[in-house]
Amino acid sequence: VPIRDAVDLRLAVRILLADDDRVFQLMLGRILPKWGFQPIVVGNGEEAWQHLRCLEGPSIAILDWVMPLADGLEVCRRVRSCNLARYVYLLLLTSKATSQDLMSGLEAGADDYLAKPVNPDELRLRLRAACRVLESEGRHRQIAENASDGILILEQGSRIHFANNAAGAIFGYQRNELMGLDFGTLAPGFARH
């Protein structure tokens, strides 16, 4: 559903905050609802992963780089390596500030990166940008899913990352059954360059 007003979109967006700093959890736990978001607060990477992998999980995750059980980079990698039915916008927080650190975070799958200590005004603006990305991604996903032509997105060679219903009908599968398959099994002789 296209939403023109950013405030309306934020009301629909649940945000996961994963940070082991209790003071930071309390501070953002109070600020995010004032901005219209619905926070889910956890203290370690494993809890974060459990929420994010759920079918109805949050669409934005604010992840501390350093936290127990699984760090923010590991959570980013897990989210990007599985075929979630929705896009999750990942914002990595850290006091690490070198160019190499920034590249490591982005290579792990983070969409954005914010240095600690966090400036609340900067965080609010970055979350607004995240909402715009999610709105755009939602529109494109709706178009692709409802297209009458078969649409597949391949990654890692020829592994199917996305398939719409029409692609499933063309190949005689349910769309979710196509996810993760090698396209070469459906089209022998296919070679991706």
Length of the chain: 193
| pLDDT-derived band at 90, boundaries 50, 70, 90 | very high
Nearest to 21 by CA among 59, 72, 60, 79: 72
| pLDDT-derived band at 131, boundaries 50, 70, 90 | confident
How far is 23 from 26, CA to CA, in rounded Å?
A: 5
Phi, psi of 17 (to 5 degrees): -110, 115
At 167, the amino acid letter reads A
Sheet holding 14-18, edge to edge: 38-42, 14-18, 60-64, 89-94, 112-115
Task: Tell me: pLDDT of 7 over 60.
Answer: no
> Coil, strand, or helix at residue 127?
helix
Task: Tell me: pLDDT of 74 over 80.
Answer: yes
**0.85 cut: is pTM over it?**
no
Pick the more confident residue, 187 or 90: 90
How many other C-beta atoms are found inside a 10 Å radius of the C-beta of residue 56? 9
What is the end-to-end Cα distance of the chain in Å, rounded? Answer: 36
Asked if 159 and 118 touch (Cβ cutoff 8 Å), the reply is no
DSSP single-letter state for residue 45: H
Q: What is the pLDDT of residues 43-63, one digit of tens each?
A: 888 888 888 888 888 888 998
Task: Tell me: pLDDT of 5 over 50.
Answer: no
Residue 191: per-residue pLDDT: 65
